[in-house]
């Protein structure tokens, strides 16, 4: 399957497929590719007669096929876009058109939050005669590396700590990440800067450079109970900016990855990077330290403790303990 970047490059070269099905859990890549096609396929003066945008709940396969089979007027292509195509009840009927698509039509189906059933005709025909792209969520533990590469594509760089801070703030919400980075881009362009620092993230995204999940994990690995408790006290006073679910997610990802490290035969930095899919050597050092600090059975138990804390934070088996109490109890289990 082609990558997002490869598809963007192909569209930029005006090499269009007759059919695009953009599907999957991550809406960001689907929206970006759709916007790129809308901006590229037709010129401004061609759009009135050659561009049609419909929503899945308001259309059907017959209408889409009729539109797709029309020829363009005074243009090389016509563009037919179906947003929210997952709401089309008879979408499989489009297989009849996709079997022999019109070369002058670019048909785009935005199938968000779901995937087509690959066992059925439509998906197979799209793979044969068009382009089937699955937009997958970026796992949260890979977000710092993703943020680094995301900025590199915009000719910018970022500190490792700043990347982790951004990751803590946005999770794996790529739409929000794009907005925050676009905001930073404007500020940096005004100042002639090319590198995102923790200070910039703190000032313009609203995350404390001293009290965040990156620093909490750093304090845990340093066995600094005083600093770790000070950070969770700060979280308790600023719950909107530091929700417990984000903190628990960071801890869960770390200890889950640490458990993977125990099952990895090659525990060199290069071996661990390969096993965890990490790009930066700075990240793997945390796992090298973790292997020294936490026995495998303790890691296994801590993963269970984090799951329990997450359930209790949502009211399961918990009548009165607040976020601070849950984190304080969990922190004690981690450090002792």
Asked whether the predicted pLDDT for residue 29 surpasses 90, the reply is yes
The architecture in CATH of the region 138-209 reads Orthogonal Bundle (1.10)
pLDDT tens digits, residue range 94-128?
999 999 999 999 999 999 999 999 999 999 999 99
What pLDDT shows up at residue 283? 74
Domain range list for the chain: 4-134, 138-209, 210-336
CATH label, 210-336, candidates 1.10.1200.10, 3.40.50.720, 1.20.272.10, 3.30.300.30: 1.20.272.10
Looking at domain 4-134, does it have CATH number 3.30.390.10?
A: no
Cβ proximity of 37 and 11 under 8 Å: yes
According to DSSP, residue 240 is labeled T
Q: Do domains 138-209 and 210-336 have the same CATH topology?
A: no
CA dist 304 and 280 (Å) reads: 28
What pLDDT shows up at residue 89? 92
pLDDT tens digits, residue range 275-311?
888 766 667 888 999 999 999 999 999 999 999 999 9
Q: Average pLDDT of 78-101?
A: 95
> Where does the pLDDT of residue 319 fall: very low under 50, low under 70, confident under 90, or very high at 90 and above?
low
CA dist 218 and 279 (Å) reads: 19
pTM across the whole model = 0.70
CA dist 163 and 297 (Å) reads: 31
CA dist 139 and 270 (Å) reads: 21
CA dist 332 and 260 (Å) reads: 23
Tokens of 96: 């009849």
**What is the percent of the chain with per-residue pLDDT over 70, rounded to a whole number?**
98
Cβ contacts of 269-273, under 8 Å, gap ≥ 24:
none
pLDDT tens digits, residue range 206-239?
777 778 888 899 999 999 999 999 899 888 888 8
Cβ proximity of 9 and 140 under 8 Å: no
Which residues lie across from 134 on neighbouring strands?
Answer: 23
Tokens of 222: 């340093």
DSSP-based three-state secondary structure for 196: strand
């Amino acid at each position: 399957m082609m990558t997002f970047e490869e598809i963007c490059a192909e569209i930029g070269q005006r090499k269009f497929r007759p059919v695009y099905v953009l599907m999957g859990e991550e809406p960001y890549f689907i929206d970006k590719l759709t916007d790129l096609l809308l901006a590229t396929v037709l010129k401004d003066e061609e759009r009135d007669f050659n561009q049609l945008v419909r929503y899945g709940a308001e259309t059907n396969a017959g209408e889409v096929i009729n539109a797709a089979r029309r020829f363009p007027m005074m243009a090389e292509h016509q563009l037919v876009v179906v947003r929210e195509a997952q709401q089309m009840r008879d979408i499989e009927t489009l297989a009849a058109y996709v079997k022999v698509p019109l070369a002058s039509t670019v048909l785009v189906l935005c199938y968000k939050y779901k995937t087509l059933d690959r066992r059925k005709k439509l998906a197979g025909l799209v793979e044969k005669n068009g382009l089937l792209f699955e937009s997958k969520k970026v796992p949260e533990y890979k977000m710092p590396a993703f943020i680094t590469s995301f900025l590199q594509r915009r000719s910018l760089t970022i500190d490792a700590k700043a990347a982790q801070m951004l990751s803590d703030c946005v999770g794996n919400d790529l739409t929000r990440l794009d907005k925050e980075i676009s905001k930073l881009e404007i500020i940096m362009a005004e100042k002639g800067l090319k590198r995102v620092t923790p200070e910039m993230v703190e000032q313009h995204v609203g995350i404390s450079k001293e009290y965040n999940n990156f620093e909490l994990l750093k304090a845990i690995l340093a066995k600094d109970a005083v600093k770790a408790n000070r950070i969770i006290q700060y979280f308790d006073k600023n719950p909107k900016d530091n929700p417990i679910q984000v903190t628990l997610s960071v801890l869960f990802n770390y200890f889950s990855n640490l458990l993977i490290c125990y099952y990895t035969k090659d525990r060199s930095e290069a071996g661990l990077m390969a096993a965890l899919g990490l790009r930066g050597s700075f990240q793997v050092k945390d796992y090298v330290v973790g292997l020294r600090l936490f026995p495998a059975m303790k890691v296994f138990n801590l993963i269970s403790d984090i799951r329990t804390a997450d359930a209790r934070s949502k009211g399961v088996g918990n009548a009165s303990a607040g976020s601070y109490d849950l984190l304080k109890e969990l922190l004690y289990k981690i450090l002792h």
